[in-house]
Amino acid sequence: MLRKIRILLLTSLIILASVTSALAVLTLEQRLGKLLYFDRYLSSNHNQSCASCHDISAGFADPLNLRLPDLYPVSAGSITTAFGGRNAPPSAYALYSPPFGLDPATGLYVGGQFWDGRAATLKDQAKGPFLNPVEMNMGSEANVIAALKDPANRNAPEYQRLFSLVYKINLAAVDPATAPAKVTKAYDKMAQAIGAYEKSIQFAQFSSKFDAVMAGAEFFTPSEANGWALFNSKAQCNLCHPAPLFTDFTYDNLGIPKSTHPLLAANAVDTGLGSVLGDPLQDGKFKVSSLRNIELTPPYGHNGYFVTLYDIIHFYNTASDMSWPAPEVAANVNRNELGNLLLTEAEELDLVAFLKTLTDSFEGKRFAPIIP
Ligand code: HEC
Ligand code: HEC
């Protein structure tokens, strides 16, 4: 019941966001954000940008994970022997996640960025990767600003020009030694520009076969059509992944087992939202992922436990039976909406076929989002 109410909440967000993303031309602020998003010079070894782990070729997630999902459930950092603890989600469609908060109508946490919602907005999120030792590893905000201005950075003149035009900031005068407050301000604006770019049309293509079918311009195959029907009925996926964004941005503990992968096995138990809020009732909960471009973003789950789409669907279908290892976090596991779906194998495969219709065709025609 609660879930139905959440869908209403989303409707208004979609209307808002589809208005802004209808602007195909980048603003100056977004152009600045785009330069920053692709700039590898802004990492400790000058070898990694946001796009390294959120590339269009991999549905805005990590191409390494797409190529070798069983070997690399997580991403390597600028230091290429350092690995993060969670699978990289897409940066696309993240613009539709509302700022993190408690929805008073449902009593559920909604929105935010990261698997655990710890960044409220895209701007806040963009401040993290530069400083994260297992990502771009820059050490400090001052180091990032110094790398922006470094004459060896071929974007330096354009940064100088755009910071001045967009934010009235003279980067040449932003000196960490004499003006630390200016560094903080410039770093804040940098994150703002990246967040603005991530709200551009590029990150909200709506050009998948699904969008075309909904607009009446294409037809599902019988298997895809059956998958879509199951998605909204027997398989109950729509309870948490409602179209057209395929997420309601709430949090749940699916009871995914702890990863035994060599890159993750030694990690502490990941309690997700619970540790962000310091609330044991939220332990084990992670944000509902959008399923757009899901075909391109293996492996699946916050810890990449499932290598293929079939694997995770089979888990939804059978998680309640004893064939699966214990959940990583035993508390708060959702057993009402998943775990014993009684899907046949043919039905599981139809769901896989349907999910593959959610892949954007990046040269394809854009269809306006369907508002429920
Ligand atoms: C080394 C790989 C790596 C790099 C580089 C990287 N990210 Fe990420 N990104 C991740 C991972 C892993 C997560 C999930 C982490 C978590 O939830 O704790 C993530 C999460 C995100 C999210 C949240 C998406 C969601 O649905 O919650 C956004 C947006 C994002 N990154 C954008 C960026 C931007 C912008 C940059 C550059 C400033 C960047 N990333 C650099 C790996 C990376
Ligand atoms: C009770 C809410 C709920 C239901 C019902 C549900 N999901 Fe999910 N789904 C989630 C959450 C939460 C996550 C992220 C969980 C995690 O990684 O810990 C997720 C993650 C996924 C992922 C992996 C996303 C990624 O980027 O790694 C796929 C694929 C998926 N769901 C597909 C489905 C399908 C197909 C169904 C129906 C059979 C379904 N879900 C039903 C809540 C739900």
Are 173 and 203 within 8 A, CB to CB? Answer: no
- pLDDT for the residue numbered 172: 93
pLDDT greater than 70 at residue 1? no
- pLDDT for the residue numbered 367: 86
Distance CA 34, CA 294 (A): 24
Average pLDDT over residues 352-368: 88
Q: pLDDT tens digit string along 99-156?
A: 999 999 999 999 999 999 999 999 999 999 999 999 999 999 999 999 999 999 999 9
- Give residue 51 CA to ligand 1 midpoint distance, Å: 9
Measured from the CB, is residue 282 less than 6 Å from ligand 1? no
Average pLDDT over residues 41-45: 98
Measured from the CB, is residue 313 less than 6 Å from ligand 2? yes
- pLDDT for the residue numbered 7: 44
In ligand 1, the atom with minimum distance to the C-alpha of 49 is 5
Q: What is the CA radius of gyration of the chain?
A: 21
Q: Token pair for residue 222?
A: 């019988």
Residue with tokens 């960044």, as numbered in its chain: 119
- pLDDT for the residue numbered 176: 83
- Atom 2 (ligand 2) nearest CA: 240
Distance CA 192, CA 196 (A): 6
Q: pLDDT tens digit string along 222-281?
A: 999 999 999 999 999 999 999 999 999 999 999 999 999 999 999 999 999 999 999 999
Measured from the CB, is residue 60 less than 6 Å from ligand 2? no
